[in-house]
Amino acid sequence: MKDLSVFLITLSLPFVLLSGWERTYTVSGYDIVARSVIQTADGGYACAGWAEQHGSVSIFLMKTDWRGDTLWTRFYEGLATDPEPRWNRAYSISQTVDGGYIIVGSSSCYGAEGINVLLLRTNQYGEMMWARTYYGSFLCEGLSVVQTVDEGFIFTAFTLTDGIFVVRTDPCGDTLWSRNYLSYHEGAGISVLPSPDGGFFIVGYTLLGSFQACWLRIDDDGELLSENFYGLPSSNVFAVSADVTHDRGLVIACWVDYLPDDTLDFLIIRTDRSGDIVWSNRYSLGALDIVGAIVQAHDGGYVLAGGYYPLDDTSALHSVMDVFLMKTDYDGNIDWIRFFGGDYYDCAYSLFHTADSGYIIAGGYDERREHTDAKLYLIKTDSEGHTPIIERAAFIPMKISLDVSPNPFNCGVKISANIPLPHIEILDLMGRLIDKLEIGEQVWRPEASIGSGVYLVRATVGEQSITKRVVYLK
């Protein structure tokens, strides 16, 4: 680990514990990565991403306390319609007003063409309440989601050919409206943010000769009010994160691909409430920089997290990467930079400003060694980016896998899990309990009063659970 503050060792233990920590989390046999992290109402943290094994990918949700100790984990697979899903990924999580979570990502199936947006709603314990898929293009992945004032949701997505896809839903995930903005090209909405003046900001990028960052403002019904574009000569500019500033403008973080020599660095764009540029600064930390997220700091400056290859590592650009955390002042001048990570590949994808004026960072930690799984990486810092406590390899129990067959069925369905004696429940698509099996029982035979339809089979062992769809045909 790098840039640890030795002077904090002399402070009392309670203060050190509050200041920060670093932890990695592993699931045996799986590569896991966190793409989004938030601080929850109880002061702990929730992070969402995915777990991958042999080409099969499941959404992963983990809840920790304020120290980073795991309270529970959930894996979600089997969320798309037939044929059997191959992978599901989560890119953004928000906490809902009732203490639950809303997650947006993508879902794909074996034998199916294309990728759909996946919206997943859970209760405060991570138990799935419902999941919906939305089609916006041949290839479409949800990237950002927030809850709206009417307790519904709005999300933005990437599409390969139809611009920026935005959908607003009611609290049950049913579509109220959907729009494709800048629909003549590839585009991505990487952030949706409520505007202090009403409506929403949409930040992303689109292809206009070269790729350019873009800023859209829409009203509550999805009507486009204004738009702005930000590009650089001989470069592709990809917006990756944004935050609303104290004066109702935006700060946007972009990574920049300089086309003549294909080098990567990053750009901060500061706009006013109309999307006009107040200032923009370009930064280069190493041989190659990847910015993951940006937030406004408590003092009005800005904090970014990402990954970089050190300048002395140009001969091994795919071997070593470190996490960086950078603080600038209100005008974009660098205040400080902190570095974290081991001797291999570490990168930050998400950043959240915590209630104690510190930061929580989430990403991946990959030792790139044979028989070693990629780990989920969480870093909690104080307001100056320091992390006095380092802990490694918190173990997450073996992931539950679940098999239901035959599917569809018309008499009974066999339910098998890889962990002995799971607790099995049958739910409808609204999350209501329909039936449950006795411990050790493996076959569900619906009662005569239960009608044909799609049901959810949920297996729980300890603090883990997994859910799969099953189709009952009388």
Q: Give yes or no for a contact between 307 and 264, defined as CB atoms under 8 angstroms apart.
A: no
What is the structure's pLDDT at 15? 33
For residue range 369-426, list pLDDT tens digits in order.
444 567 889 999 999 999 875 544 444 455 667 778 888 888 888 888 766 667 888 8
- In angstroms, the Cα distances linking 225 to 220, 236, 273, 275, 395 are 11, 25, 12, 11, 49
Residue 252, phi-psi category: left (phi > 0), alpha (psi -120 to 50), beta (remainder): beta
Q: Give yes or no for a contact between 166 and 189, defined as CB atoms under 8 angstroms apart.
A: yes
Strand-strand pairing, 21-27 and 389-390: parallel
C-alpha to C-alpha distance for 187 and 143, rounded to whole angstroms: 12
Q: Give yes or no for a contact between 199 and 166, defined as CB atoms under 8 angstroms apart.
A: no
What is the structure's pLDDT at 364? 81
Q: Give yes or no for a contact between 268 and 328, defined as CB atoms under 8 angstroms apart.
A: yes
- In angstroms, the Cα distances linking 163 to 144, 148, 216 are 15, 23, 12
**Token pair belonging to 15:** 């203060």
Q: Give the chain's largest Cα–Cα span.
A: 70
Alpha-carbon 75 to chain mean position: 14
**For the chain, how many residues are written?**
474
What is the structure's pLDDT at 84? 54
- Any idea which residue has 């091994």 for tokens? 316
Low-confidence ranges of the chain (pLDDT < 50): 1-18, 80-83, 110-111, 313-318, 368-371, 391-396
Closest C-alpha among 144, 95, 49, 103 to residue 362: 49
**Contacting residues for 41 by C-beta, under 8 A, at least 6 apart:** 95, 99
Q: Give yes or no for a contact between 417 and 461, defined as CB atoms under 8 angstroms apart.
A: yes
What is the structure's pLDDT at 316? 44
DSSP state of 331: T
Q: Residue 310: is the preceding peptide bond cis (ω within 30°)? A: no
DSSP state of 19: H
For residue range 236-255, list pLDDT tens digits in order.
999 999 999 999 999 999 98
Q: What residues are paired with 257 via a beta bridge?
A: 236, 264
